[in-house]
Chains A and B, each alone.
Chain A
């Protein structure tokens, strides 16, 4: 199916540009439980989508299908109009879809630089690390995000929660993701720290990177998202652009389902 047909087939006149990622009629069962039940989910170019819902609403499962940790039992995924198979996190990364998990993004006992280049080290001959280059690159990318860390040689454990998120996001930016999935990036952060993380997300958008921001805290995502998807019991119950909704309406949708 070509991109043009695709657009008309879904009958979506609102979407002027082709979406970056489109998930169609996704189903996922765990035994008898329908974790995701026929979901259509779209992410536009350089769009910030707030994926909201209570715990157990299916948002994590949906996103894990996109990042390759789960396989959908039914449904199709399109990236820039082309049908793709995502069977592993590696496949997702090849499509430049990157996910930041709160607890498994960084290694506390390693330096900022080593974390940024973890698994994708810059090497000289024989696989030896080019430490100078890695340090320079990580300083410049962190500066670019307005994240001032004293030394990129310092261990990550000395950073605050917000700064850690910043490092994880900087890493993704450096490796030129098209889509970044943030799984509860503001959980357990102070108000000030949340503001910083939101700044990082804005920086991603500025770079033309799309973001899916998963949270059950609507107040965190409301200021920055362009569109909201509310999930309840495995279904998307509301999919609305920011200009067509209000905070109250969204709160109502989350609560009542």
Chain B
């Protein structure tokens, strides 16, 4: 059959794609969606509005997660993402609603605050040589504490649409029915994936996370590489905080709390190693969707939302075991 002849280059690409980890996660995603299609009441899981909701909520988590994936490939953790997100949301809301700054300026300052928080995480970790688990555990408490110090626990209203409807539609509007949050999530995924795979910085990230001593011996500035990854995470947290506050019309004291574990769960589902040097951004992207599909699927199927964490817990362990078994088979 002539029509089935595929050029060899494409054949190897297709084969690579099918055997890749991401394809496995993709299949999981399809399987889960099919399952929830049948279990949800009146098939509401696949309704347009439900899918839009999944993409809206999931993208806020996802924007942070792709950054965390790069950081974990570089061999470090960030437990402070939820607090950084919450503090950035407060900064943005306060600068706009209380200090009366213009939206672009407030946004710029908020992103800088995010970069600063990330830089603190990075510099403390590399300069004092302590595990980032500890550094970011500390900053997690510090920035959450700062939220309470500045807000006394009260919500801060944020309604950018009052002066600029454009601002709102850029962050939480939609393009042909696709939520803007998801567009941003996709953009960040592509940027980080390209940097990681096609830019020399990505090579340094993999080398630093895979074998720091080897990377250093070859002249890579591993400390700088790590700090940059932390800064990227900080900026993405600030961005996600702005998006979330725009959607939720305010900054809240507990905003973002709990996402640190969800980001790690998503990256692990996506095939990123906890030991550094292994992982992909696309995997993290799909991992976030798996998490959100489970969350939404349980709700639309009439299962109490309280089950969400239990199911995610089992899923993370199950997928890691599956990954290990696949890896073993591939080796032998």
Contacts and interface: CB of A to CB of B under 8 A. Distances in A.
B201 interface: yes
B215 A128 contact: no
A127 to B, nearest CB: 5
A34 interface: no
Nearest to B273: A109
Contacts of A107: 206-207, 210-211, 214-215, 277
B206 A119 contact: no
Nearest to A157: B331
B12 to A, nearest CB: 10
A76 interface: no
A105 B211 CA distance: 9
B199 A105 contact: no
Interface residues of B, number: 21
B39 to A, nearest CB: 39
Could you tell me the dominant secondary structure of chain B's interface residues?
helix
A118 interface: yes
Interface stretch (B22-30, B140-148, B217-225): B217-225
Contact of A104 (B200, B211, B277, B331): B211
Interface residues of A, number: 26
Interface in B184-236: 198-204, 206-207, 210-211, 213-215, 217-220
A119 B198 contact: no
B124 interface: no
Given A119-B207, A119-B220, A128 B198 contact: yes
A186 interface: no
Contacts of B201: 127
Contact of A121 (B203, B277, B331): B203
Nearest to B276: A109
Interface in A115-132: 117-121, 123, 126-129, 131
B278 interface: yes
19 contacts: A89-B219, A99-B217, A101-B217, A104-B213, A106-B214, A107-B206, A107-B214, A107-B215, A109-B206, A110-B207, A114-B206, A114-B207, A118-B207, A118-B220, A120-B218, A121-B200, A123-B200, A127-B200, A158-B331
Contacts of A105: 214, 217
Contact of A106 (B206, B211, B219): B211
Most buried by B among A89, A99, A118, A120: A118
Contacts of B210: 107-110
A24 interface: no
A83 interface: no
Most buried by A among B204, B206, B220, B331: B206
Most buried by A among B201, B211, B213, B220: B211
Most buried by A among B200, B277, B278: B200
Contacts of B220: 118-119
Most buried by B among A93, A101, A129: A129
A225 B215 CA distance: 30
Contact of B203 (A101, A109, A126, A129): A129
A235 to B, nearest CB: 28
Given A104-B211, A119-B204, 13 more contacts: A99-B217, A104-B213, A108-B211, A108-B277, A118-B203, A119-B220, A120-B218, A121-B203, A127-B199, A127-B200, A129-B199, A129-B200, A158-B331
A45 to B, nearest CB: 25
Most buried by A among B200, B218, B277: B218
A118 B210 CA distance: 12
Interface string A79-105: 000000000011001000001010111
Interface in A169-206: none
A99 to B, nearest CB: 7
Contacts of A131: 198
Given A105-B214, A107-B211, A93 B203 contact: no
Given A107-B210, A114-B203, A127-B199, A119 B218 contact: yes
Nearest to A103: B213
Interface string A191-235: 000000000000000000000000000000000000000000000
A126 B191 CA distance: 14
Contacts of A93: 219
A89 B222 CA distance: 14
A110 B205 CA distance: 11
A7 B58 CA distance: 73
A123 B201 CA distance: 11
B327 to A, nearest CB: 10
A110 B207 CA distance: 7
Interface string A125-148: 011110100000000000000000
